Amino acid sequence: MYTEPKVNNSSNFNHHNIVATERVKKLLLQSIDTLEEILKNQQLPAQERATVALKILEMTGLLSQQNNPSPATLVSEAQQQLNELQTNNLGTRFSTKAPPKIQVKPNFLSADYVEIPNLLLPEDNQKAIEEAIEKRDQYIESTTTTKADKYRQSYVLFSQYFPELSALIQSKVLETLPEVLTKLNFRPFEISEIEVQLTAHNDGCYYKIHNDAGSEKTASRELTYVYYFYQEPKAFSGGELRIYDTELKSGGAITHQNYKTITPANNSIVFFNSRCRHEVMPVVCPSKAFEHSRFTVNGWIRRLVS
């Protein structure tokens, strides 16, 4: 007769029980290490840090207990240890009281900018001036996205009319962008487009306070750039770029009184946050000759919207 071999189930059970226990201990130790790293973060609210501390004490109790008490007992004991910590002048660190309500600060943008001189080689700068003057008949009067009356006066030439200069400025913008982002403390972003246009400001031209990312169509603009160039000696005055501290609130932009002023310098480029409110001060050009204008190749770096 065939006799089925006996299996020592008790031995197998004990083996698996030991392995499981060791795994649990290892997991607990790893979890405690992780929680301790979190606890070191002084920026966490007191209540959150107290919760982390309580969890560490609870898990430490699980490791040290031999009689496997119930979880409720462990938590009770951990709470008691927590209270002792509070009594020993550590209460401010591990306070379990609800933290005071913190008022959310508005999104505030300071009037920061980056200015880079001598962007182009002298011969490329001169070529840009000559091209801007040659195409005077192809400019159109500038407008605003809001179609506001008497808010902006200047003349615009779109990039298809100066493709080589447009491509050159775009390449220079990309070349200098890492430096610009660092100086502006600006988080890198994936670029979808670098917009380009050529603008001429002559006598009496201006652009009142606005920002460049204030509408649904312009919301993906992250950085504004302005490349200045003109004939020398300079035949105009004014035309400064004024950038204001700006508060973003309730879907709008509030202009603060503090501002920074950038005087146009031939062959220089300026970068700033497109959400900052800014304006172009009135230009005075006594000759009124187009060739004496304040020229810019300006545009916007757009982020990719998924």
**Domain ranges in the chain?**
9-90, 107-303
Top-level class of domain 107-303: mainly beta
Q: What is the pLDDT of residue 76?
A: 55
Please report which confidence band the pLDDT of residue 24 belongs to, taking 50, 70 and 90 as the band edges: low
Q: For residue 196, what pLDDT is reported?
A: 98
Is 282 exposed, middle or buried, given 0-12, 13-18 or 19+ CB atoms closer than 10 A?
middle
Spatial separation of the C-alpha atoms in residues 52 and 44, rounded to whole Å: 10
pLDDT of residue 34: 66
pLDDT in tens, 72-104: 554 455 555 555 544 444 434 334 444 454 444
Residue 178 has pLDDT above 90, yes or no: yes
Q: Is-contact 135 197, C-beta < 8 A?
A: no
16 versus 194: the higher-pLDDT residue is: 194
d(CA 195, CA 223): 11
Q: What pTM does this model have?
A: 0.67
Is the separation of the CB atoms in 227 and 298 below 8 Å? yes
Determine the pLDDT at residue 145.
80
Say if residues 275 and 109 touch (Cβ distance below 8 Å): yes
State the pLDDT confidence band at 66, using cuts at 50, 70 and 90: very low
Region for residue 263 given its phi and psi (left: phi exceeds 0; alpha: psi -120 to 50; beta: otherwise): beta
Assess whether the previous peptide bond of 286 is cis (omega < 30° from 0): no
pLDDT by residue (tens digit) across 212-265? 999 999 999 999 999 999 999 999 999 999 999 999 998 899 999 999 999 999
CB 226 within 8 A of CB 276: no
Q: What residues contact residue 113 under an 8 Å CB cut-off, 6+ apart? A: 184, 243, 260, 262, 270, 271, 272
Integer Cα distance of 237 and 235 in angstroms: 7
* 117 vs 23, more confident: 117
